[in-house]
Amino acid sequence: MIIWLIGLSGAGKTTIGTRLAARLRADLPNLVYLDGDLLREVWGGVSHDVAGREVNAERLSKLCLMLDRQDIHVVAAVLSIFPHWQQWNRRQLSHYFEVFLDVPMEIVVARDTKGLYRSAIDGEISDVVGVDIPFPEPAAPDLVLDSSGRGGTPDDLVERIVAALPLPVAR
């Protein structure tokens, strides 16, 4: 199964993704955690403009397919701004479960864990999703969670994901 966590920068993808992977590993030892930002560093040379983000999206989806074909489960934390790659994942991956971490823009701007939003709003940087690159909300996620803090703690959200998964895991 590929569990695809989608959300803006600051939505909690990394926090929830790492906790979800740790929670599932007891029952699914053949599970890996992939983070779009970390893979960008591994692959190197991928820009943050739309074209670079497209390259990163394709690489991540195809890496998930390779792992899926080897019966390796994946928790992937990705910005995922390309609906056509989300559709590709649904068609190509044997078990694809998409979770949208929905947080209002004003909350991720207030969190601004990486300083991206302030820098983009101040005109110091460009190519920031949600500021000068649109963030299309996923069309058909399997689960939508409010990760603004009003929907529960990160651990609460992890348990809601686990409860919604179609695979039998420890619940």
Catalytic residues: 80
- Residue 25 neighbours by CB under 8 Å, 6+ apart: 31
The β-bridge partners of 34 are: 76
Instruction: Evaluate whether 126 touches 32 at the Cβ level (below 8 Å).
Output: no
Using CA atoms, how far apart are residues 8 and 106, in angstroms rounded to an integer? 11
- Residue 46 neighbours by CB under 8 Å, 6+ apart: 40, 52, 55, 56
Using CA atoms, how far apart are residues 93 and 85, in angstroms rounded to an integer? 11
Using CA atoms, how far apart are residues 15 and 23, in angstroms rounded to an integer? 12
